[in-house]
Structure 1
């Protein structure tokens, strides 16, 4: 990025806040809060390979699945790497961990990649996202 380190730190912090909002809305099973993070032309691929193109498809899927999700809402999201493709486009690697619903059960893990774009008003939105389940048998 062609900006000074102070500006870059502020941008990285703003992007991390998008990921933190994903975490909060997932924990709360808040479909509308989650959907507010998406670009209208976004593409989303679920952890199990379902491809959703455009806000309407993402919204229909999210509204049907998120509120009824069987996990108990204990999930964490950690930004592990951010690379700027352009000053207004970043690829963000995330570690996603679902706490086990039952004592003694293994935690689930995901490895999302979010491409976020900065809008004219300064907001960063999820634009092209791929969630990938991390499997132990890999």
Structure 2
């Protein structure tokens, strides 16, 4: 896992504030960030948008996007990350939406997680297939990957 204190220090040095938009991790990224004393200097806010309705209401995800591609998609991850920026005073936002399990389908299997990382310069998305590791492990891996994305973005500034 990323050294969260180092991540926060890198963002503080770059004068960047962070927001999170989480679905399948249910706030695990925000919890990891706020476990560190002094994180309020960098962590701005977190959105836990577990349902599609919450994604629409809190982050401005388009219902049409959800209807067209479903919640577990890079398109929704993009809209979540950009929505977290728009609905906060953050400079950098990470989003996570996926299928932690159990379950899934042949089209969206357990362990598929989509991520977005957004800043004023744009938004990048990616999908990671963690596989059927079990709910707890998929969520931990997704949290760790999101923290890694934040660290890379902070260090790039």
Fold conserved between structures, TM > 0.5: no
What's the TM-score once normalised by structure 2's chain length? 0.32
Look at both structures and tell me which one has the larger radius of gyration over its CA atoms.
1
Larger relative strand fraction: 1
Larger relative helix fraction: 2
